[in-house]
Structure 1
Amino acid sequence: MNITAITQLEEEHYQLLLDADPSKKHVDDYTKRGQVFIISDPKLVGIMVLIPTRPDTLELVNIAVAEASRGKGYAQKLIAFAFDTAKKQGIKTMEIGTGSTGYEQLHLYQKCGFRMTWIDRDFFVRHYDEEIVDNGIVLNDMVRLSIDL
């Protein structure tokens, strides 16, 4: 298993990123502003993007693991790597946001130590042109979580 930074996105990277965020416009925006890391074992199994948002704060804006590789701890390894990376940069707080209907994601993030901080009501209605359905429910709200490092 290997986690590395990348600066150029290939089609396989986009496929994973767009699985977690269906807006290519949003993905292009935050990948240009952030650090992109991939996890390989030995082939690509996951990806994440970290961006600075405020002084001493880093946001994990996208994390995705290939469907065939889910449930094997890759997302937890990426998150642990994100924590280590943030600490080395002197970051004090890590944030993440996810859809309110993403039960598996909410479970994972809390298992990794994130705590819910607030709900951004109608986030997905305001920021996405197309309706998003997740777990059979129309996605409206984003749950914001954070952890002090």
Structure 2
Amino acid sequence: MNKPLLKLSLIESNEERKAYRSLLLLADDWAEAVDQYMYEGELYIAQDQQDQVLGVCLMHALSPEEAEIKNLAVRPEFRGQGVGKAIIEELCSRFASKGFSRIIVGTANSSIDNLAFYQKAGFRMTEIRKDFFCSYPEPVIENGIRAWDMVMFERPLSASC
């Protein structure tokens, strides 16, 4: 499959960010958490050549060397077409050029598709944050599995990413 042609645009204002809340909620069911972190870090929108929004990604710098994918969501009708991988590749390139040496991301133990996706995108498992989802107000169930733990991944960056 060919890499989809997309452009990433940085959303600067909080007012503009509000317009993408529903997309962020595709990747995180806990609205209160999304409402807290959606104004932190850098929010990027991915668009096709006709300016149709395909997805969003919220990046957060944890240190001068490490950035975190806080939220990555692709609209359902564009999933499985390489959009998510293209977003990651573009952001890896951008963050490598800014001097970052690694990107981390976490996903639930129950998110089977995400676990596979991040590994296919060059990430490796680094740790498990036990009981991470116990603080959620309602249990999260995916694929018939309760989300208890956050599985953390890391991808080293280089100039060529």
Q: TM-score range by the shorter chain?
A: over 0.9
Instruction: Show CA shifts across 1:23-44 (max 9, x none).
Output: 2222232222210001112311
Number of the residue aligned with 2:42: 35
Q: Which residue of 2 aligns with 1:4?
A: 9
Partner of 1:136: 144
Aligned AA for 2:8?
Answer: I
TM-score of the pair, normalised by structure 1: 0.92
Does the 8 Å CA contact 1:46/1:64 hold for their aligned counterparts? yes
Counterpart residue number, 2:114: 105
Residue identity matched to 1:67: P
Deviation at 1:54, TM superposition (A): 2.7
Structure 1 position 15, deviation (Å): 1.5
In the alignment, the residues of structure 2 paired with residue 24 and residue 9 of structure 1 have an alpha-carbon distance, to the nearest angstrom, of 14
Q: Give the Cα–Cα distance (whole angstroms) in 1 for the partners of residues 60 and 131 of structure 2.
A: 22
The answer to whether the 8 A contact 2:47-2:55 is kept is yes
Whether the 8 Å CA contact 1:30–1:51 is kept in 2: the answer is no
Higher Cα Rg, which structure: 2
Tell me if 1:118 matches 2:127. yes
Q: Using the alignment, how far apart are the partners of 2:133 and 2:150 within structure 1? A: 7
Residue of structure 2 aligned with 1:148, choices 141, 145, 156 = 156
Give the superposition deviation at 1:10: 3.8
Structure 2 stretches lacking a partner, 5+ long: 1-5
2:3 equivalent in structure 1: none
CA distance in 2, matches of 1:95, 1:121: 17
Question: Secondary structure of the equivalent of 1:68?
Answer: helix
1:22 is matched with which residue? 29
Structure 1 segments (4+ residues) deviating >3 Å: none
Partner of 2:61: 52
Select the residue among 67, 77, 80 that pairs with 1:71. 80
CA positional deviation for 1:110: 0.7
Question: How many residues are aligned here?
Answer: 147
The separation in 2 between residues aligned to 1:38 and 1:17, in whole angstroms, is 11
**Aligned-residue CA RMSD (Å):** 1.3
AA partner of residue 80 (structure 2): G
Q: Cα deviations across residues 27-85 of structure 1 (Å, max 9, x unaligned)? A: 23222221000111231110000001133100001000011110111000110111012
